Each structure stands twice: as C-alpha cells, then as structure tokens.
Amino acid sequence: MTWVFTAITLLALLVLLVGERGNETLRNLAKPVASAGFLGVGFTAGALDTTYGSWIFLGLALGAVGDVLLLGASRTAFVGGLVAFLLGHVAYVVAFGILGSDARATLVAAGIVAVIGALVFVWLRPHLEHEMVAAVAAYILVISVMLSVAIGTGVPLVIVAAGAFYLSDLSVARDRFVAAGFVNRVWGLPLYYGAQLLLAWSVLLLA
C-alpha cells in the first residue's frame, strides 16, 4: 500500500500542476488528494509504531493542513497555513533529534544556513507588509533550524528531504510576496511533495 499511496501523490501532483494553470476546481481537488497520499505513505510505513515515525507523521499531518489552508486566497488563510507549516517543521526537528544529530555538524550547518536565511529575509523584506514581517522572520528561523538539524543527522535521505522542503518554500515566498506566477509552482510543488514523500518513506527506510 505504501507504493500505492506514493503513486496517488505523484499522479495528483501532475493533476495539480495542470490545475495551477488556471483551473481552480481541479487545483482544489488535486491538492488535498496529493497531500492525503503522503499521509497514507507515512501511515502504511508504520509511522505510528515508533517515536520517530510519530513525530514525522505529525509533521506530515500539519503539512497537509497547511496545504488545504493555502488553497485560500485570504491573508488569514495564508497565515494559518504558515503557522501549520511552522509547527510541522518543529515536529521534524524533534524527529531528527530522535535520529541523533551531531552537535558540531549541526552548528556548522546552522552558521551557513543562517547566512542564507538572512539573505532570504533581506530579499523578501521590501515586499512584506508590516503585519507579515515578524511571521515571515519566525518561519525562516524555524525552517533554518529544521534544515540545520537535518544536516546534523548525517542521513542523506533526511538531508535531501529537508533541503528540498527549504527550496520549495522559496517558491512559495516568491509567489506570495515577490512575483506570482505558474513558474513558481512548476518547480516548487514537485520539490515540496518530493520532500514530504521522502520524509514519509524515511519511517520505513530508517526503521
């Protein structure tokens, strides 16, 4: 069943990309299905049977909630999605900590990621309304911690997943604050769903 749910996410992703070309109905149907797929992968992989898996599944579930919220066009929906994803990254930090993260590697990674995060904030700041500055800064901080701890684990699967997630969020930020357009989604969505699938599969592969 794990492979079946993987296929569901990938097929729904293709439909979602078609929907992002201007078919809102198709988009609103495909996105929850794609997200349900990676939840199915995590569940059938046995996520709820281990502490690591349970935290990963919580992160996946919060991501799915964020996906649904981001279907809305209002600021309230966006902020709600932002909070859901932020909490999801916290869950992933806990999960990676359970795997074991080398302190020195994490600190080195944190230094590099902090510079990247600062550059991202400088890039976004001129495009942010005053009410969004603190929320975006907090999100950049949390996802930077998530990526740093992932790198500290030394596990290639986790590092690739976290890196893909980080990059996918740049597409969301560009689309929301800088320059909206299909081009953001055509590379951002595959990275995002790929990251979530890798994290879901990690429950089984790292058991």
pLDDT at 75: 82
DSSP for 20-66 reads: TTT-HHHHHHHHHHHHHHHHHHHHHTTGGGSHHHHHHHHHHHHHHHH
pLDDT at 18 over 90: yes
* pLDDT on residue 152: 96
- Torsion, Cα of 124, 127, 132, 135 (10° steps): -10
Average pLDDT over residues 44-57: 96
For 76-96, the pLDDT digits (tens) are: 898 999 999 999 999 999 999
Residue predicted with more confidence, 73 or 97: 97
Q: Please say if the pLDDT value at position 73 is more than 90.
A: no
Which residue in 80, 72, 92 sits closest to 150, CA to CA? 92
Dist CA 58 CA 154 (whole Å): 22
pLDDT score recorded for residue 14: 97
C-alpha 66/C-alpha 84 separation (Å) is 5
Report, as an integer, the average pLDDT of 26-48. 96
Domain count, the chain: 1
Rounded distance between C-alpha atoms, residue 99 and residue 91, angstroms: 13
CA distances from 80 to 14, 63, 74, 87, 102 (A): 26, 11, 10, 11, 33
What range defines the domain where residue 105 resides?
2-205
Residue 110 C-alpha from the chain's centroid: 18
HEC string for 141-177: HHHHHHHHHHHHHCCHHHHHHHHHHHHHHHHHHHHHH
User: How far does CA 156 lie from the centroid of its chain?
Assistant: 17
The token duo for 26 is 């198709």
Nearest to 116 by CA among 136, 83, 84, 141: 141
> What per-residue confidence (pLDDT) applies to 131?
87
Is it the case that residue 207 has pLDDT exceeding 80?
no
Record the tokens describing residue 112, joined without a space: 């590099």
If we measure between CA atoms, which residue out of 188, 192, 1 comes closest to residue 89?
192
Structure tokens at 5: 């749910």
Mean per-residue pLDDT for 34-41?
Answer: 98
